[in-house]
Amino acid sequence: MLFDLDCRRSVSTIIGGPNPELADLVEQECSQRSWEGIIP
């Protein structure tokens, strides 16, 4: 959950609002042992 309002607004602008499928993907990726390759 994003608590920083500026960050929240920026993310909302990029993803366009709630997206449960994307949230599940992000959660899955971020729970991996290594974050290598998440951000190219």
Task: Decide if 22 contacts 15 (C-beta within 8 A).
Answer: yes
Residue 36 placed within a domain: no
Q: What is the pTM of this model?
A: 0.53
Residue 34 placed within a domain: no
**pLDDT value of residue 31:** 93
1-40: pLDDT as tens digits? 668 888 888 888 988 888 899 889 989 988 999 888 877 7
Within 8 A by CB and 6+ apart from 30, the residues are 38
Query: Whole domain around residue 20: which residue ranges?
Result: 1-29
- From the list 38, 14, 16, the residue with the least C-alpha distance to 26 is 38
Residue 39 placed within a domain: no
